[in-house]
Amino acid sequence: EGVTPQEYTCIKIKITEFAPEAQGYLKQKNFDFASNEIFLVAATLRPETMYGQTCCFVSKKIDYGIFEAAQGQFYICTERAFKNMSFQGLTPQRGYYKPVVQINGSVLIGSKITAPLAAEKELRILPMDTILPNKGTGVVTCVPSDSPDDYINTRDLAHKSEYYGIKKEWVIEDFVALIRTEKYGDKCAEYLVNELKIKSPKDAVQLAKAKELAYKEGFYNGIMIYGKFTGEKVENAKRLVRDQMLEENTAFVYNE
């Protein structure tokens, strides 16, 4: 981890229907998911892209915790992240970060969710193998229009749904365009994945390059072409969209 703190926006993604396996597991653990609100918490650097969410990624290799975040409200994220939150005044009790239940990412896959601002109303939890357990919350919201990683992972999931043990119809392959740049058009992730001939979510070197190019171009030269701040520079929209979500209590600021 670097020496300068990174500020993330954490998006609260509501679970509306747990996958059958998760329901069985949580019942067995005596966790009352029916009378509580449960949110996947995804850390993002790009709050202005939340209109374009098409699913939420978890890793099958990560054990998550379900943590009490407020009366009747629970967060799903890594224990490491909730611990940090507990020292940032984001939880009921400073330094308390014991999960009420642990749950592996694999159990959550297929669950139905609704994500704040997303144009698509019903999304699914899907797997992403490249999520790092020690960054953010271990949960990544998927924006295939502007994130090369999300775009290529979505394509891989759609092409190899059987291999991943998911239903193909869970994968939303068309998505709205959010940001226009002169260099990369309206869907910069797709443009860069094709341009750099990225074939797989495992093409780490090329993906890092694509991510860097997309981020710089989008941030400094991008114009919003979707949502409340259409016409606004991305540089400004970033803060405006974030503040709207903070106000609506669908997001919070988290540092690490």
192 binds ligand A2H (CB under 6 A): no
**Helices and strands of the chain, counted as H and E runs:** 8, 12
**To the nearest whole angstrom, how small is the minimum distance from the Cβ of residue 34 to ligand A2H?**
29
Distances (CA, A) of 104 to 34, 120, 165, 169: 19, 26, 15, 23
- Give the β-pairing of 63-70 and 179-180: unpaired
From the list 146, 156, 190, 217, which residue makes contact with ligand A2H (rule: CB under 6 A)?
Answer: 146
255 binds ligand A2H (CB under 6 A): no
Nearer to ligand A2H, 33 or 48 (CB): 48
> What gap in Å lies between CA 80 and CA 129, rounded to an integer?
19
Q: How many residues bind ligand A2H (CB under 6 A)?
A: 19
From the list 83, 123, 150, 170, which residue makes contact with ligand A2H (rule: CB under 6 A)?
Answer: 150
**To the nearest whole angstrom, how small is the minimum distance from the Cβ of residue 27 to ligand A2H?**
29
Q: What is the DSSP string of 86-142?
A: HTTT-SSSTT----SEEEEHHHHTT-EEE-TT-SSS-EEEEE-TT--TTSTTS-EEE
Q: Which of residues 204-233 bind ligand A2H (CB under 6 A)?
A: 211, 215
Residues that bind ligand A2H (CB under 6 A): 6, 43-46, 49, 131-132, 135-136, 138, 140-141, 143, 146-147, 150, 211, 215
